[in-house]
C-alpha cells in the first residue's frame, strides 16, 4: 500500500477557495463600484446573476414569455448550460468543487469533526437519512412550480446561500437567516446537510450521476474491502458495495478515490469504463484531480470570456417586462412586472410615460440626479412608510403606470400614491372623478412635506376602492345591490366575509378583470 499524497485534496481546496473569493467579490462589487473600483465581467453583477439555478427556475417563463424571472439575467442561463455540460462529463462537480455554500458547510464541518471525532457525520439513523435525502426533490418541484406561477424568486426568502452572502445588505428575510442558522448548526454534526437534504440544484445535478461519462468506479479484483472509501465519502455513499456509483448524492469530490482515500492504486477511480472487466489495453480513461481543476477553471472562465467578447455575457437585466398573456390587453407590457431595478428611463422606453412625468408624479428632485436615472426602488427610501396607512415603493410605480395607461394591475393592500400622482392622473383624464374623490383617502404628501395622511382637493365621505381584501359585504355596504354583483361574478358567494381576491383565486379566476368591472359600477353610483 502506498501512502496517499495530499496533492489531490489541495488542488480541490484551491479551486474551492478561488470560486468562494470570486463570489465574495461579486456581492461586494456594488460597494467597490462606489469607490471607483470595477471588476471585469462581474461589474454590476449580483449573486442572482451568477447563480446557475436561476436559469433553471426561469426556464418556464423564458419559454412561454421570452423573459426572465425577476433578478435573473442572461448570465444565469449561460451558467446553467455550462454547469450542465460539466455534469454530463463528470457529474455534479459544481457541487463538489465550485459551489461556495457547499464549501462553507465543509469548513464548518471541520469544526464539528474536531468536536465529535468518529461520531461526526454518523449520528442520523440510516432509515431516516435515506428518507430525508429525497426531501430536496420535493423542494426542487415546489420552487420550480411556484416560480413559474409567481414569476418571482420565491426561494430567495428561504435561501441560506443568499443569506450568507448578503447578510449585511438588509435584503435578507428573517426566514433566510433562520434557515442559515439551522444549516450552520447541522453542519457541526452532519457533512453538507443542506446539500444532502434540501438543495434543489444539487437534486437536479444529482440525476446526472445516472448517465455521466466519467463515473466513480471500483475495481473489485484489487479492492481489499477496507471501507476507506466509505469513511471518506462526505455524502455517506457505500462505495465499497458497488462497482459503479450511480447514487444521486455523489458530488464528484474525489475523496473516495485511489488519489485520496483508497490505499490501493487504480482501485477507485473516476473512469469511463468499469474497472477490472476489460483488458489492460482497454481500461478506459481515468480523470484525475488536477485535470478536473484545470478543466473547470479554463472551461468556465474561458467560456465566460468568450461570451463577454461576443457581447452575450450580461449580468444586468435587459429591463424588458413580461407581456400580458390573456384578455383584451394581451400582448401589452405588464405593469405588474416592473421591478425595483427598473429606471424611469426603462419605464419610458417600455410604457411611454416620460421620465420627467414620473419624477413629477412622485415628487423627486431632478437637480439631485436626472429623472431618467431614478430607480423604482428609490421610492422606498424617498417615502418612509406611513404607519397604519401604507407605503410608497415599486408597487406604487406599477399602480401609477397601470392607471395612466388603463392597464390591469391589482396593487398590494399597503400600496399608496402621493398626492401629486393622483392630481396628474385626474388632470390628464386617466381616472374618473369618483376614483379621484376616493383617492384622497389614500394620498400622502409629497417628499419633504408633513408625513401624515391627507385628503385630496375633492372630498368624499367614504373610500370605495376595491382591493384584494375587499369583501362581498363591503360591496353591499358601498351601495351595490346583490343583483348587480351576481351579474358580474360567475359564481355566488356563500360567505360574505371572504375577500374577493381569495374567492376568485379559489375559482381559478383573474381578480383584476372582475375588480375593474365592479369598480366601474361603484364609480357610476
> What's the confidence (pLDDT) of residue 389?
62
> What's the confidence (pLDDT) of residue 33?
58
> What's the confidence (pLDDT) of residue 525?
74
Do 273 and 283 contact (CB within 8 A), yes or no? yes
> What's the confidence (pLDDT) of residue 435?
76
> What's the confidence (pLDDT) of residue 378?
87
Whether the model clears a pTM of 0.85, i.e. scores above it, the answer is: no
Closest Cα to residue 393, out of 371, 413, 410, 415? 415
Helix axes 7-34, 100-116, angle to 10 degrees: 120
> What's the confidence (pLDDT) of residue 238?
95
> What's the confidence (pLDDT) of residue 512?
75
> What's the confidence (pLDDT) of residue 129?
94
Positions of the chain with pLDDT under 50: 1-4, 278-279, 445-462
Alpha carbon distance 248, 263 (integer Å): 25
Do 356 and 366 contact (CB within 8 A), yes or no? yes
Distances from the Cα of 42 to the Cαs of 101, 166, 289, 311, 313, in angstroms? 19, 16, 28, 13, 10
Do 397 and 418 contact (CB within 8 A), yes or no? no
> What's the confidence (pLDDT) of residue 318?
63
Amino acid at each position: 500500500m502506498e501512502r496517499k499524497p495530499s496533492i489531490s485534496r489541495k488542488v480541490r481546496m484551491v479551486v474551492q477557495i478561488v470560486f468562494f473569493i470570486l463570489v465574495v467579490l461579486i456581492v461586494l462589487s456594488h460597494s467597490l463600484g462606489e469607490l471607483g473600483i470595477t471588476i471585469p465581467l462581474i461589474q454590476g453583477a449580483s449573486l442572482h446573476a451568477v447563480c446557475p439555478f436561476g436559469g433553471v427556475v426561469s426556464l418556464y417563463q423564458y419559454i412561454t414569455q421570452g423573459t426572465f424571472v425577476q433578478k435573473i439575467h442572461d448570465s444565469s442561463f449561460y451558467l446553467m448550460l455550462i454547469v450542465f455540460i460539466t455534469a454530463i462529463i463528470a457529474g455534479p462537480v459544481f457541487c463538489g468543487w465550485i459551489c461556495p455554500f457547499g464549501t462553507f458547510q465543509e469548513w464548518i464541518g471541520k469544526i464539528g469533526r474536531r468536536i465529535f471525532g468518529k461520531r461526526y457525520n454518523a449520528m442520523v439513523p440510516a432509515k431516516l437519512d435515506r428518507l430525508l435525502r429525497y426531501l430536496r426533490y420535493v423542494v426542487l418541484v415546489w420552487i420550480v412550480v411556484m416560480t413559474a406561477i409567481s414569476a418571482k424568486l420565491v426561494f430567495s426568502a428561504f435561501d441560506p446561500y443568499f443569506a450568507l452572502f448578503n447578510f449585511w445588505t438588509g435584503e435578507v428575510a428573517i426566514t433566510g437567516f433562520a434557515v442559515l442558522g439551522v444549516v450552520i448548526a447541522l453542519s457541526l454534526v452532519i457533512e453538507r446537510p443542506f446539500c444532502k437534504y434540501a438543495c434543489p440544484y444539487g437534486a437536479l445535478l444529482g440525476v446526472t450521476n445516472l448517465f455521466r461519462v466519467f463515473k466513480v468506479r471500483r475495481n473489485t479484483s484489487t479492492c481489499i474491502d477496507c471501507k476507506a472509501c466509505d469513511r471518506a465519502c462526505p455524502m455517506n455513499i457505500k462505495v465499497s458495495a458497488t462497482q459503479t456509483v450511480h447514487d444521486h448524492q455523489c458530488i464528484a469530490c474525489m475523496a473516495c478515490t485511489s488519489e485520496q482515500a483508497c490505499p490501493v492504486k487504480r482501485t477507485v477511480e473516476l473512469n469511463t469504463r468499469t474497472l477490472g472487466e476489460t483488458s489492460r489495453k482497454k481500461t478506459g480513461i481515468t480523470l484525475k484531480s488536477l485535470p478536473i481543476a484545470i478543466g473547470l477553471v479554463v472551461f468556465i472562465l474561458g467560456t465566460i470570456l468568450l461570451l463577454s467578447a461576443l457581447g452575450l455575457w450580461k449580468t444586468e437585466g435587459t429591463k424588458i417586462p413580461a407581456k400580458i398573456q390573456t384578455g383584451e390587453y394581451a400582448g401589452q407590457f405588464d405593469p405588474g412586472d416592473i421591478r425595483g431595478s427598473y429606471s424611469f428611463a426603462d419605464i419610458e422606453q417600455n410604457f411611454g410615460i416620460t421620465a420627467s412625468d414620473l419624477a413629477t408624479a412622485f415628487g423627486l428632485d431632478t437637480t439631485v440626479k436626472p429623472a431618467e436615472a431614478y430607480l423604482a426602488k428609490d421610492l422606498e427610501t424617498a417615502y418612509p412608510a406611513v404607519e397604519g396607512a401604507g407605503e410608497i415603493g415599486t408597487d406604487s410605480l406599477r399602480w401609477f403606470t397601470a392607471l395612466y395607461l388603463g392597464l390591469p394591475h391589482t396593487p398590494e393592500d399597503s400600496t399608496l400614491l402621493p398626492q401629486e400622482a393622483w392630481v396628474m392622473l385626474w388632470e390628464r383624464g386617466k381616472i374618473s372623478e369618483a376614483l379621484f374623490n376616493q383617492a384622497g383617502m389614500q394620498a400622502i404628501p409629497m417628499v419633504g412635506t408633513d408625513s401624515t395622511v391627507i385628503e385630496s382637493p375633492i372630498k368624499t365621505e367614504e373610500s370605495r376602492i376595491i382591493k384584494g381584501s375587499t369583501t362581498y359585504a363591503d360591496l353591499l355596504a358601498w351601495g351595490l345591490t346583490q343583483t348587480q354583483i351576481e351579474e358580474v361574478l360567475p359564481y355566488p358567494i356563500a360567505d360574505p366575509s371572504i375577500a374577493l381576491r381569495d374567492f376568485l383565486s379559489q375559482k381559478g379566476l383573474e381578480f383584476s378583470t372582475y375588480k375593474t368591472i365592479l369598480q366601474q359600477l361603484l364609480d357610476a353610483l
